């Protein structure tokens, strides 16, 4: 799946929604918009990553090449960010810390290892996207019902993983399926109807405590959004500032909580904190993108080029 301006635009919008949600949380604000955003941001992120994954290359590339590519472009900046956050928070360290950080990553840092786990699963389990979805969907749904939608480990043992490792495959594999098969226009009305029903249902569940209803409402909303990705790709929309954030989504995702925390210490309110954080991250990204070592360590995107990247150069990244 080659680079597409509409997908970059969507990634940029989602990244701003993630930051806006975290700004509201830091400011201790409760609003319907926060509830709705929390319901679709991360599942749609995972779905986009599955949609962008080049399955054939992921399975055909030598293991050393694959791990080198993902190691340099995803895992290395994730490790750097992980160390920075652990040091900044003064978290206690012990012999089991590496396992804790890998299986139960703190804060927002769960996304990269979960995404890498899903990519490795796709490489090792060489089934079609439809078969992977048929296997992964029941596992994901069972996990949602058994452990809820809150972020918590499955079990209490040392090797108990974060529930998101097995809660999100349904979205990732569905994204892969949409990339492979697309969406026929005759189904567009059905998808929009299901999306409307799911969004309306999810919106009405705020503060209800009806945990059993959370799962189908969220699935309806998010699977419908992921199903629209093929049509979005054909429109080819673009807005330079948002597209830049979308292309640099890994950097924004890894470092925005730290930047927002620093800005918050200045005493500004939520909207101003969000605006200043976006500007600071954009400025830091432009500076670091000019240096290959800094770019690799911090996860910032390389300077934009006029020529489009070849399809095999596309990597799924956090938005």
Q: In this predicted model, which residue has the larger pLDDT, 121 or 235?
A: 121
Q: What is the DSSP string of 212-225?
A: HHHHHHHHHHHHHH
Residue 318 covered by a domain: no
All residues at 6 or more sequence positions from 67 whose CB lies less than 8 Å from its CB, including other chains: none
- What average pLDDT does this structure show over 82-104? 91
Residue 50 covered by a domain: yes
pLDDT at 305: 59
pLDDT at 133: 97
Residue 271 covered by a domain: yes
For 267-302, the three-class secondary structure string (H helix, E strand, C coil) is CCCHHHHHHHHHHHHHHHHHHHHCCHHHHHHHCCCC
pLDDT at 309 over 90: no
- What average pLDDT does this structure show over 47-68? 94
Query: What domain range includes position 258?
Result: 5-307
Q: How far is CA 205 from CA 41, 105, 140, 164, in A?
A: 17, 28, 21, 21
Report the predicted TM-score, pTM, of the whole model to 2 decimal places: 0.92
Lowest pLDDT segment from 134-138, 146-150, 158-162? 146-150
Residue 154 covered by a domain: yes
Cα dihedral 158, 162, 167, 171 sign: negative
Residue 291 covered by a domain: yes
For the chain, the first-to-last Cα distance in angstroms comes to 16
Nearest CA-CA partner of 139 in 158, 161, 124? 161
**Total domain count, the chain:** 1
Residue 53 covered by a domain: yes
- Note the pLDDT tens digit of each residue in 9-30: 999 999 999 999 888 887 777 7
| Angle, CA of 259, 69 and 234, to the nearest 5° | 80
- Note the pLDDT tens digit of each residue in 287-303: 998 889 999 999 998 87
R_g of the chain, CA atoms, integer Å: 19
CA 294 to chain centre: 22
Query: 115 near 318, Cβ under 8 Å?
Result: yes
- Note the pLDDT tens digit of each residue in 245-264: 999 999 999 999 999 989 98
- What average pLDDT does this structure show over 98-116? 93
Residue 229 exposed, middle or buried by CB count within 10 Å (0-12, 13-18, 19+) = buried
Residue 127 covered by a domain: yes
Q: In this predicted model, which residue has the larger pLDDT, 305 or 312?
A: 305
- What average pLDDT does this structure show over 273-298? 93
Residue 84 covered by a domain: yes
| Angle, CA of 183, 186 and 192, to the nearest 5° | 75
pLDDT at 306: 47
pLDDT at 124 over 70: yes
């Amino acid at each position: 799946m080659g680079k597409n301006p509409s997908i970059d635009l969507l990634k940029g919008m989602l990244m701003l929604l993630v930051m806006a949600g975290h700004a509201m949380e830091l400011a201790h604000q409760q609003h319907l918009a926060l509830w709705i955003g929390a319901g679709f941001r991360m599942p749609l992120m995972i779905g986009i990553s599955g949609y962008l994954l080049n399955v054939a290359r992921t399975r055909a590339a030598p293991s050393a090449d694959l791990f080198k590519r993902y190691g340099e472009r995803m895992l290395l900046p994730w490790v750097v960010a992980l160390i920075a956050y652990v040091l900044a928070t003064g978290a206690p360290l012990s012999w089991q810390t590496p396992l804790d950080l890998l299986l139960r990553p703190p804060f927002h840092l769960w996304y990269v290892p979960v995404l890498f786990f899903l990519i490795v699963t796709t490489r090792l389990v060489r089934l079609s996207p439809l078969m992977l979805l048929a296997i992964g969907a029941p596992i994901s749904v069972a996990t949602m019902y058994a452990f809820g939608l809150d972020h918590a480990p499955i079990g209490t043992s040392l090797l108990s993983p974060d529930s998101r490792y097995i809660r999100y495959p349904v979205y990732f594999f569905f994204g892969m399926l949409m990339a492979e098969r697309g969406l026929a226009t005759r189904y567009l009305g059905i998808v929009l109807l299901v999306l409307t029903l799911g969004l309306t249902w999810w919106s009405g569940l705020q503060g209800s405590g009806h945990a059993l209803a959370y799962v189908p409402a969220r699935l309806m909303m998010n699977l419908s959004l992921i199903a629209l990705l093929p049509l979005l790709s054909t429109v080819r929309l673009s807005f330079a500032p948002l597209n830049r954030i979308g292309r640099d989504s890994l950097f924004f995702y890894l470092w925005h909580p730290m930047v927002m925390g620093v800005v918050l210490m200045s005493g500004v309110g939520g909207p101003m904190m969000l605006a200043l954080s976006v500007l600071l991250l954009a400025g830091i990204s432009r500076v670091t993108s000019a240096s290959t070592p800094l770019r690799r360590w911090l996860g910032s995107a390389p300077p934009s080029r006029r020529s489009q990247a070849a399809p095999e150069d596309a990597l799924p990244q956090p938005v």
